[in-house]
Amino acid sequence: MTDLDALFHPVLTLPDDIRSQRYERLVGLDEQKNRLRKEALVLTSPQRLADWADKHHGKDVAALELLSDRAPLIVFGGDVGTGKTALAESFGCDLANRLGLPVMLYRLKLTTRGSGLVGEMTSLIGDAFGILQTEGRRAKGRSGAKAVLVMVVDEADAVVQSREQAQMHHEDRAGVDAFLEGVDSLAGEQLPVLVVLCTNRLSSLDPAVRRRAAATFTFGRPNDEQRAAVLTGALDGLGLKVATLKQLVKHTGATDTSPGFTFSDLTQRLVPTIVLEAFPDRPVSDEIALTVAEMMEATPRFAELDT
């Protein structure tokens, strides 16, 4: 079996301070956070759903069987910079707090695709799921879960691209088959393991993968209210006028010729540039903030592949 370090980035134990703070900074994603919390709790701790049914309905509930049959797979799809990966790698902090258990974060390396040799990609993906299955069995325990494992696959379209594409290589098709087999194996044993796929090309994922997903979350660029929340929090303490913040919200919105700013445009480009424009000789001013915003353009939209 392939070595753990060859398949995954260093495994992290959540919650930790860095990702807890990152999770809290993801404002404007309350709807996704709330639904994700419920999905993650049910998929990794199904007894909680049974306890809920017993408490509120006092009898067998047919819907529980449907919920228990779902694969522990969640898909995040949407444009670049909309918070997919940040949420995927940090929601485990919230889940850990809710369950009172550690969450182990496994981030699959893109090198898992291999070099194209026959059978290599299939073997690597199989090994990755083999590790999850082994560790998941240990975490399951006899008296309940002792930990939860979350595997995040970023740029998932590079791993599970649709097999319907005519130009797809046989090795890639075999890799998708291996991924589906791995997900099904986790579902069959009801292990405390969750797989999260992140992609900018939702339509390019294999249909069988999309059908397996217990839930699919679509991420868009922040609206006026969300941008206002991000900017108000990020620029707090700099003494900017309310009118300036409103102008920043307006400037970072969509126009006839340009999309609106993404979450990462706001937090990783606009706000840092405003601060560094003033550093180290002068304070941040309304003029500096507006000038920087006027000079900056939003990240172009990520074009979906035809399917």
pLDDT (tens digit per residue) in 266-286: 999 999 999 999 999 999 999
Measured CA to CA, the distance from residue 132 to residue 179 in angstroms comes to: 12
Query: Taking a C-beta distance cutoff of 8 angstroms, is the pair 271, 278 a contact?
Result: no
List, by residue range, all CATH 1.10.8 domains of the chain. Answer: 224-295
List, by residue range, all CATH 3.40.50.300 domains of the chain. Answer: 4-219
- Name the E strands within 188-292: 193-199, 215-219
Choices 3.40.50.300, 3.40.50.2300, 3.20.20.70, 3.40.50.10260: CATH for 4-219: 3.40.50.300
pLDDT, residue 77, reads 96
Give mean pLDDT, residues 31-59: 92
Q: Among residues 60, 194, 207, which one has the least CA distance to residue 132?
A: 194
Structure tokens at 276: 């560094």
Looking only at the bridges linking them, the beta strands covering 148-153 and 73-78 are: unpaired
pLDDT, residue 199, reads 96
250 has pLDDT over 50: yes
Which residues, 6 or more positions from 248, have their beta carbon under 8 angstroms from its beta carbon?
231, 270, 289, 290, 293
pLDDT, residue 253, reads 97
Q: Which helix (H) or strand (E) holds 36?
A: helix 30-44
Per-residue pLDDT reduced to its tens digit, 172-210 = 788 899 999 999 999 888 899 999 999 999 999 999 999
87-96, 117-126, 213-222, 292-301: least confidently modelled range: 117-126
Query: Taking a C-beta distance cutoff of 8 angstroms, is the pair 78, 89 a contact?
Result: no
- Helix crossing, 30-44 with 47-56: angle to 10°? 100
137-146, 162-171, 244-253: range with highest mean pLDDT: 244-253
Q: Which class for 283: exposed (0-12), middle (13-18), buried (19 or more C-beta within 10 A)?
A: exposed
Beta bridge partners of 193: 149
Structure tokens at 23: 């999770």
The yes/no answer on whether domain 224-295 falls in CATH 1.10.8 is yes
Confidence band, pLDDT 50/70/90 cuts, at residue 166: low
pLDDT, residue 114, reads 57
Residue with tokens 């696959």: 153
